[in-house]
Homo-oligomer: A and B are copies of this chain.
Amino acid sequence: MDSKLVKPFKSFSSFTRRDFLYRAAAVGGTGLLLNTMNAWGMGIGSTMSAPPALSGSGKGKKVLILGAGLAGLTAAYELGKLGYQCQILEARAFAGGRCQTARKGFSLTELGGEKQTCEFDEGHYINHGPWRIPLHHQSTLHYTKLFEVPLEVMVNDNDHSYVYSENAGPFAGKRMRIKEIKADMRGHVSELLAKSVKNNSLDQELTADDKRLLLDYLAHEGQLAGADLQYKGRTGRGFAVNPGAGLSPGPGKQSDPLGFKELLSSKLGNVYSAVQDFPMQNTMFQPVGGMDAIPKAFEKRVGKNIRYKSEVQTIRQNDKGVTVTYKDTATNKVSTISADYCLCAIPLSVLRQIDTDFSDKFKQAVASVAYAPVGKIGLQMKRRFWEEDDNIYGGHVLTDLKGINTISMPSYNFQKKKGVLLGYYQYQTAAIEISALSPKERAEFAVAAGQKIFPQYQDAFENAFSVAWHRVQYNLGGWAEWTDKTRAAAYPTLLEGEGRIMLAGEHLSYLTGWQAGAIESAWQQIAKIHERASA
């Protein structure tokens, strides 16, 4: 891997605000965008909901597929249906690529790191790669349906959870319920606009009818009370005393809103979206038992065509076909395999280190795309304190704590004894810096940070499993990170492939970092192979 990425760990003060706002531009917001972490993949659904309808036959033709991630698996499955003879070479001992689930016994050794073996209790896991299937990703959902992979709801939106920032002015260092911020900001802002409307200061914009309708809307949106349309709180922000039975608590006791000026100066009104961004909308799914249920379902169908522990060494082609040498990682024996065509679903971050006979232009394109440093950690807690004490069931704590970004509560095993939290989800320099720590130090870092939000953290913590994708062999990054410049310079070249070799993967889509990107890319690229093979 690119060792320049792994800088020595410095102090937290060396983290820059830029890292944190890294993705802010993509979602068009300004200010403190705690929820940028929610934007991974950058605003994105998928439009293709079924594989391309290809006619003709691939009988008698061989396609060599490099990599058994979602793109490679999809290609093997669909090309197999057309009659192609597919062979997948996969460097790991299992399929799925980045789609992995860490559960008891799962092990990972990052480049230059110590071996981690997951010690979660039976029945607990963390999806340390992809963890969410948006409703808009009909391509991924095509296969979960076809293969009967049971899905459950992944709670991706939970206003009862907390936002925590140490830079939130009057609310700095205090955990706040997201719903309080949301209710009160919308209440105060609606009241302010109502005042403006009533004072006729918008008469140039609005007719009398518009004004009446707008005031009606604002009264509803902000839940403004009385003829003077004031915001005085609402049940949605929570009660001071919850209603119940009898006379006490009886109707309960309403809570008082936070002050408008305090809210404004805290900037916490900028942490949630007025409407969830496209890929983040309800309903969000996860496969029951772990995301790797998807590659496992593919393996059932195309597993016989996968040669595992086969690390690609060289790629060569001529006008007759493609020849690849690969090393068996168990025996170090190098073998050769040939095919009529090749679909290379290896991440560009890895492909650029492989010996190929691509043209200089193609090699340059492969080399030009950045890959995202990304880190995640699963923390097993001996008690689901977030449910028991805080009544938070799934969803995310939004925070700008450096190197944390989000703490996510599991959407499975509700009300059971133990649970595995996502302790951080990092990008860029934060991910690079934390990844330089040992697994034990990473866990200590995550627990110390989480302790600021949940005082139960330290006592409940049992064990951890972390990944730094930029340090994982055969991935070397979380996902392709395109810029306008590289999209213009390299993307069309890479899409075109070269000779008898086509590329596929999330990197050849606008759904980077999502399984749907890999699947839809495979759908497009196998259509091109089929077209060339049928010509």
Known: A30-B219, A199-B201, A217-B269. A277 touches B236 (CB 8 A): yes
Are the CB atoms of B192 and A281 closer together than 8 Å? no
A165 at the interface (CB under 8 A from B): no
Residue in contact with A179 in the complex, picked from B190, B242, B249, B275, CB distance below 8 Å: B275
Residue of B nearest to A199 (CB): B201
Neighbouring B residues of A144 by C-beta, 8 Å = 415
Neighbouring B residues of A141 by C-beta, 8 Å = 415
- Number of this chain's copies in the complex: 2
Are the CB atoms of A394 and B283 closer together than 8 Å? yes
Residue of B nearest to A141 (CB): B415
A60 at the interface (CB under 8 A from B): no
29 sampled A-B residue pairs with Cβ under 8 A: A31-B219, A31-B220, A33-B220, A46-B244, A47-B239, A47-B242, A47-B243, A47-B252, A136-B391, A144-B415, A153-B411, A155-B283, A158-B282, A159-B281, A160-B281, A201-B201, A213-B265, A213-B267, A216-B267, A221-B270, A222-B274, A234-B277, A244-B509, A244-B516, A245-B520, A245-B524, A246-B508, A247-B495, A283-B394
Neighbouring B residues of A249 by C-beta, 8 Å = 47-48, 510
Are the CB atoms of B216 and A270 closer together than 8 Å? yes
Neighbouring B residues of A33 by C-beta, 8 Å = 220
A533 at the interface (CB under 8 A from B): no
Are the CB atoms of A217 and B521 closer together than 8 Å? no
Residue in contact with A282 in the complex, picked from B48, B159, B201, CB distance below 8 Å: B159
Neighbouring B residues of A242 by C-beta, 8 Å = 45-47, 136
Are the CB atoms of A189 and B217 closer together than 8 Å? yes
Residue of B nearest to A278 (CB): B235
Are the CB atoms of B179 and A281 closer together than 8 Å? yes
Residue in contact with A220 in the complex, picked from B30, B251, B511, CB distance below 8 Å: B30
